[in-house]
Amino acid sequence: MNQNRVVITGMSINTPLGDNLGTFYENLIAGRSGITEWKFFKHNGVLSKIGGDLSDYDFTAKTNELKTKLPPDMFDRFRKLVKKAPFSTKFSLICAADAWLDANLDEDDNPTLRAVLVGGHNLNDKYLMDNHSTFMEEPDYIDGLMALLSLDTDQAASVSEVLGWMGPAYTLGGACASGNIAMRNAMDEIRHHDCEMAMVVGPVLQFSEMGVHSMALMGAISFSKFNDQPAVASRPFDKEREGFVPSHGAGAIVLENLEHALKRNADIYAEVLEVVATAEACHLPNPSMEGQARTISSLLQKSNVKPEEIDFVSGHSTSTPLGDISELKALKKVFGDHAKNLKINAPKSMLGHTCWSAPLVETVATVLQMRHNKLHPSINIDNLDPEVDLDICANKAIEHEVNFALKNSFGFGGISCCSLLKRFDVNSA
């Protein structure tokens, strides 16, 4: 029976490396960095000046593009909502529309069996800061809809409205594991709550200047060595890494009951075998090798997949001194001698850290690599950390057939959530 099997039938992306699947994958394989100086900064006192910036994205051009592709009624809803939506919500609406198109869906299916899940929280930092500044000058000039539009739940509601989907719609927060946690709940909606499909959105985290500065003060992000060399600042596994590089980025995937996908002859990208979440019972952002290993081991056990069957790991690999090594140690603990056979790469070396959306953004990257049998490089490895003794695809793309892919996501506060993807074989359906 296929009712408990869940597959990916649509994807979309919007990052500094591209806002369509083809461009995104080409830039990843080419090893291009999407990190520049932030364009929206006004305060010179912010310690870290660099990130993956979408603040000048052309929403008008994208809206005009979607006008030619979306059904008229859906486009009308999209146009009205995106016009007034905050920065982050605009990207969520765009990604949802693009993923809907990529999945080749229509408006005739039962909308009550369609779920919308958004993985992220505290999404509108700059929007709130800007309105606070306006309020201090003239209270009546703030955004009149701020009380509604600033809510994280407005993203799920807005996506639901554009798509016309009337099943469950909600947001889930789990720091940098948020996207995978949303995917985990989407699978539950399909497996246990009668939904036929779910739109899972990883929204842009709209950083404020104060937010970036506070992360620098905490020592979490890069700021001392590479402010004048943004393209080389994100360097997982390199000896000179000093912290992650925050980045704008969004993505969306359509998860679908396999039986329903086959019935409508959907193009199936991959199967999601399982998603597992755990916690460390510690609110501090300290990576835990034991906790990460426990999460991965549980994932393999629940998926009924042997460790030696895994051939690719899309690493969390944020470019922090402790985090990168902790993750590799966890892999060695779980996989033993097979760890030497794994191919591991670090999408954040090019994308920077898109934070809450990173699991979904990087799942899109994982599926594209699986489909093309070619892995992107981990870039900026000029001086490999001597503790790194696994194959991390240093500085060059690699031809490699992927049958089982592990996607790691480890968030602040010991919130871990990892997923396991399998190449889809129509003969197994």
pLDDT tens per residue across span 67-117: 999 999 999 999 999 999 999 999 999 999 999 999 999 887 789 999 999
Superfamily for the 275-428 domain: Thiolase/Chalcone synthase (3.40.47.10)
Residue of 422, 167, 215 lying closest to 310 (CA atoms): 422
Q: Which residues, at least 6 apart from 237, have a Cβ–Cβ distance to it below 8 Å?
A: 317, 324, 346, 378, 381, 384, 385, 388, 392, 394
pLDDT value of residue 43:
87
What CA–CA distance (Å, rounded) separates 316 from 415?
A: 13
Query: How far, CA to CA in Å, does 282 sit from each of 91, 322, 356?
Result: 32, 16, 19
Coil, strand or helix: which one is 373? coil
Q: What is the mean pLDDT of residues 252-268?
A: 97
Query: How far, CA to CA in Å, does 349 sit from each of 48, 102, 155, 231, 232?
Result: 17, 27, 28, 9, 8
82 close to 70: Cβ distance less than 8 angstroms: no
| Beta strands at 312-314 and 404-407: parallel, antiparallel or unpaired | parallel
What CA–CA distance (Å, rounded) separates 312 from 422?
A: 11
pLDDT value of residue 2:
62
Torsion sign (Cα): 55, 353, 403, 305: negative
First to last CA, the chain: 9
Q: For the chain, what is the mean pLDDT? A: 96
Q: What is the mean pLDDT of residues 389-403?
A: 98
pTM of the model: 0.97
Token reading at 34:
């999407």
**Phi (first) and psi of residue 131, to 5 degrees:** -70, -35
Length of the chain, please? 429
b/e string for 248-279 if b means 16 or more Cβ within 10 A? bbbbbbbbbbbebbbeeebebbbbbbbbbbbb
pLDDT value of residue 3:
62
Helix axes 21-30, 358-372, angle to 10 degrees: 80
Please, is 292 exposed, middle or buried when counting C-beta atoms within 10 Å of its C-beta (0-12, 13-18, 19+)?
buried
Lowest mean pLDDT among 159-173, 217-231, 240-254, 340-354: 217-231
* Extents of the domains making up the chain: 6-270, 275-428
Q: What is the mean pLDDT of residues 150-178?
A: 97
How many Å is the Cα radius of gyration of the chain? 20
Helix (H) or strand (E) holding 12: strand 6-14
247 close to 198: Cβ distance less than 8 angstroms: no
Torsion sign (Cα): 12, 232, 383, 286: negative
Residue 248, phi-psi category: left (phi > 0), alpha (psi -120 to 50), beta (remainder):
beta
- Residues 274-294: tens digit of each pLDDT: 999 999 888 887 788 899 999
DSSP per-residue codes, 352-368: -B-GGGHHHHHHHHHHH
What CA–CA distance (Å, rounded) separates 343 from 366?
A: 12
Token reading at 404:
């089982």
Token reading at 265:
């002859």
What CA–CA distance (Å, rounded) separates 405 from 5?
A: 17
pLDDT value of residue 426:
81
Coil, strand or helix: which one is 9? strand
Q: What is the CATH number of domain 6-270?
A: 3.40.47.10
pLDDT value of residue 9:
98
- Residues 34-56: tens digit of each pLDDT: 999 999 998 889 999 999 999 99
Residue 120 has pLDDT above 90, yes or no: yes
Residue 385 is classified by DSSP as -
| Beta strands at 312-314 and 343-345: parallel, antiparallel or unpaired | parallel
Percent of the chain, pLDDT > 70? 99
What CA–CA distance (Å, rounded) separates 170 from 148?
A: 15
Q: What is the mean pLDDT of residues 383-394?
A: 98
Residue 14 has pLDDT above 60, yes or no: yes
